[in-house]
Amino acid sequence: MLHLMIKAAISGVLIALASTLAKRFPGLGALIASLPLVSVLGMIWLWNERPDVANMAAHMNATFWYVLPSLPMFVLMPVLLRHGLGFWPTLAAGCGVTLGLYVAMTWIGPRFGLAL
């Protein structure tokens, strides 16, 4: 249980750091948010709990393919905000598009030999 609390605290601090910096320095906050910190931390936690090369390689490969469907959200959302749509509807639209693309990736990916 302590291990879980430490993992959550470290992860939470990184998210808080990115959002706090973004208030004053949007570019720096975006840079920190765009770093694959969650992925790297997840790999560290996974490796510490299960140091299995094949499992880690499969995890990293699937992570790469799941990043791709999330990228359009970062194009769509600024466009919607600049066209006057409020933050919450914009966030919902971005999440909805991303969810749809995740579903498409999990459906289409294996048909092309991707092990997700």
Q: What is the Cα–Cα distance from 18 to 108, expressed in whole angstroms?
A: 33
Instruction: Give the model confidence (pLDDT) of 18-72 as tens digits.
Output: 889 899 999 988 888 888 887 888 899 899 999 999 999 999 999 999 999 999 9
**Chain mean pLDDT for the chain:** 92
Indicate whether 98 pLDDT > 90. yes
Instruction: Give the model confidence (pLDDT) of 17-33 as tens digits.
Output: 888 989 999 998 888 88
pTM of the predicted model as reported, rounded to 2 decimal places: 0.76
- Band (88; pLDDT cuts 50, 70, 90): very high
Check the CA dihedral 59-46-11-30 and report its sign: negative
> Tokens standing for 30?
């975006």
- Band (10; pLDDT cuts 50, 70, 90): confident
